[in-house]
Structure 1
Amino acid sequence: MMAATLGHAHEFKSGDLEITHPYARPSRPGQLNGSAWFGVNNAGSTGDRIIGVQSEVAKHTEIHDMDMQGGVMRMFKVDGVDVPAGGHVKLGEGNKLHVMLLELEQPLKAGDRFPLTIQFEHAGSVPVEVWVEEPRDGAATHGHSHH
């Protein structure tokens, strides 16, 4: 299993997989749960699958999706997310996939960073660092750097 390494602009690599821009939003007072998002580029010729996530900042960590049912947005746990060969998956941009951080150990504050381990079916465990960032009004998050 290869260790993940920090890239130029908040990216982490493990073999053919590159994890891009892992981030979370600050939690609000009294908020018990949080969310995190990231992208995965797969430069390989074999697909992989995200099968789990773990972080010490929450008692439970799950991958969730959302859909509309009867005019109500419903969130539900998913068992995994496919990352196609030569493809890209983004949790949180253009879809409703996200990592739920359930029962936060402490509030998430802007400027903080925390570890998150992404478990892949084939690549194994890939540790990344999640940056807690304030939302940007209408600004695209792709391609930005933390320098």
Structure 2
Amino acid sequence: MSRFLSFGWIAMLAMSASVLAQEYKVGDIRIDHPYARPSVAAQSSGAVYLSIENLGKSPDQLVSATSPVANSVELHTMSMQGDVMKMREVANIEIKPSEKIVMTRGHGYHIMLIGLKQPLKPGDKVPLTLHFKKAGKVETQATVQDKKAENGHGAMHGSP
């Protein structure tokens, strides 16, 4: 009986995870699990994290992003230079064939929301349009979630 209960819990958790997963596709590009962290009233910027996978046979580039929740949106990368974490804007993010880039807090790429028009609260949906050089544009929504909800999305691949 306990085996059945264990399997039942695993099945229920798997179904819950698939319900929570957000996936978008444009051309050969697949976007998975866009999310943002909550902000506080005085915070003027925020960040969106997601994964981008190129399912095609030729490279593509994320060239820009837009969102109505911020005055501007920039593509950024973070890297360690000596003992200092440096963040800088990048012109684009190349996604090679069969490559998957997973954006996470504190590492590699992320999408900066600059000049937030209001604080980001847990559960909010952030509209985000991603513009790819070849695949075109795709409308997505990033869910604002706290640290606990990030489980399973902490691995970093494809960082610069």
Normalised by the length of structure 2, the TM-score is: 0.77
- Unaligned runs of 5+ residues in structure 1 are 1-6, 143-147
Structure 1 residues 138 and 21: alpha-carbon distance in aligned structure 2, compared to 1, 3 A threshold? closer
Counterpart for residue 142 of structure 2? 130
Aligned-partner Cα distance in 2 for 1:93–1:71: 18
AA aligned opposite 1:90: V
Taking only the aligned residue pairs, the percentage that are identical comes to 37
- Unaligned runs of 5+ residues in structure 2 are 1-17, 155-160
Counterpart for residue 74 of structure 1? 86
* Alpha-carbon displacement from aligned partner over 1:39-58 (angstroms, at most 9, x marks no partner): 11111111101111110100
Structure 1 residues 111 and 63: alpha-carbon distance in aligned structure 2, compared to 1, 3 A threshold? same
Pick from 104, 107, 110: which aligns with 1:98? 110
- Higher mean C-alpha deviation, range 80-89 or range 104-113: 80-89
Higher Rg? 2
- How many pairs were matched up? 136
- Higher mean C-alpha deviation, range 69-78 or range 27-36: 69-78
Q: Where is the helix percentage greater, Structure 1 or Structure 2?
A: 2
What's the Cα RMSD here?
A: 2.1
Aligned-partner Cα distance in 2 for 1:55–1:34: 12
Alignment of 1:23-42 (within 5 A): 23-42=35-54
Deviation at 1:72, TM superposition (A): 2.1
Structure 1 residues 34 and 121: alpha-carbon distance in aligned structure 2, compared to 1, 3 A threshold? same
Structure 1 residues 70 and 17: alpha-carbon distance in aligned structure 2, compared to 1, 3 A threshold? closer
* Alpha-carbon displacement from aligned partner over 1:56-87 (angstroms, at most 9, x marks no partner): 10001001112233522221100111111122
SS of alignment partner, residue 97 of structure 1: strand
Aligned-partner Cα distance in 2 for 1:43–1:137: 27
Segments ≥4 residues shifted beyond 3 Å: none
Does structure 1 residue 118 correspond to structure 2 residue 159? no
Aligned-partner Cα distance in 2 for 1:32–1:93: 17
SS of alignment partner, residue 116 of structure 1: strand
AA aligned opposite 2:26: S
Does structure 1 residue 89 correspond to structure 2 residue 97? no
Aligned-partner Cα distance in 2 for 1:21–1:94: 17
**Maintained 8 Å contact 2:60/2:96:** yes
AA aligned opposite 2:137: S
Q: Where is the strand percentage greater, Structure 1 or Structure 2?
A: 1
AA aligned opposite 2:89: K
